[in-house]
Amino acid sequence: MDLKRIDELQNKLETLRPLNSSELKRLREEFMIENTYDSNAIEGNTLTLRETSLILQEGITIAEKPIKEHLEAIGHRDAFEYVISVADKNNPLTEQVIKMIHSLVLMNDASSRGVYRNVPVTILGSTNELPQPYLVPKLMETLIAEYDDMKREKHIIEAIAEFHLRFEGIHPFIDGNGRTGRLMMNLELIKAGLMPINIKFSDRRKYYECFDDYFANGKADALVNLIAGYEIYELERYINILQ
């Protein structure tokens, strides 16, 4: 758990000149495409990275792929752009922000966008029992309130990891929880002066095991380590670009 390394890199980053707006826009667009591909792939979307890029950059329709998968790519792109705008204003994480991220992610399902689920759900392969729908609003209100305490008492990476694990454990929406949760993770990283991270589709098993550890043992260490590893990679890469 190399949180000290993250602090060192963040301090170093703050001493370097920022990229100009056009350079930053290009890097963010490259990240957004990869992040859209990986986050959607984790949830079962079959678009390749190249197909995702063609849809988002060229507006091309991939003939053999469902329209739902095209909309998932566009929705994630729009949600990422919203996250950047919220982070730039340093707005707090509220239920309204969470529901807005979700409504953009789930652009293919008008009836469920930004609406807490009203039916019980289960996650196949998970031993964690999800709360009944009538408990969701209160659980979300409590989580958001307690997140402020987490940020005061823990390293920001630890706070973000615990928030993410608890959010996914509540599973407040009928669909789109994973994508929404990972976008919120990046929102909070950017607000903290850190880099957004992209949990790779190839690391999905390691990512799922973080939830198994948390719900079995109550420890967020596995996800803290996963986020920290990605964050160190992104910080070092960004610093190398600036130097």
Mean of the pLDDT values across residues 50-65? 96
Mean of the pLDDT values across residues 160-189? 97
Q: What DSSP string runs through 41-102?
A: HHTT----HHHHHIIIII----TTS-HHHHHHHHHHHHHHHHHHHHHHHT----HHHHHHHH
| Closest C-alpha among 191, 167, 163 to residue 89 | 191
Half-sphere exposure in the Cβ direction for 57 (13 Å, CA): 16
Whether the predicted pLDDT of 126 surpasses 80: no
* CATH code of 129's domain: 1.10.3290.10
Identify which has the larger pLDDT, 2 or 199.
199
Mean of the pLDDT values across residues 53-62? 96
Residue 1 is predicted with a pLDDT of: 63
Q: How confident is the model at residue 103 (pLDDT cuts 50, 70, 90)?
A: very high
Structure confidence by residue, pLDDT tens digits, 221-240: 999 999 999 999 999 999 99
The count of domains in the chain is 1
- Rounded Cα distance between 103 and 97, Å, is 10
Structure confidence by residue, pLDDT tens digits, 182-233: 999 999 999 999 999 999 999 999 999 999 999 999 999 999 999 999 999 9
Classify each residue of 148-187 as buried b or exposed e, where b means 16 or more C-beta atoms within 10 Å of its C-beta. Answer: eebbeebbbbbbbbbbbbbbbbbbbbbbbbbbbbbbbbbb
The mean pLDDT value of the chain amounts to: 95
Note the pTM of the prediction, 2 decimals. 0.95
Query: In which domain, by residue range, is 169 found?
Result: 3-242
Mean of the pLDDT values across residues 57-79? 96
Whether the predicted pLDDT of 125 surpasses 70: no
Residue 200 is predicted with a pLDDT of: 98
Mean of the pLDDT values across residues 112-132? 85
| Torsion of Cα atoms, 136 then 111 then 121 then 180, to 10° | -70
Residues 76, 102, 164, 171: which is the catalytic one?
A: 171
Q: Is 121 helix (H, G, I), strand (E, B) or coil?
A: coil
The reply to whether 76 belongs to the active site is no
Mean of the pLDDT values across residues 37-56? 98
Q: How confident is the model at residue 121 (pLDDT cuts 50, 70, 90)?
A: confident
- Rounded Cα distance between 19 and 25, Å, is 9
Mean of the pLDDT values across residues 61-85? 97
The tokens for 7 are: 């602090």
Mean of the pLDDT values across residues 136-161? 97
Whether the predicted pLDDT of 124 surpasses 80: no
Residue 127 is predicted with a pLDDT of: 66
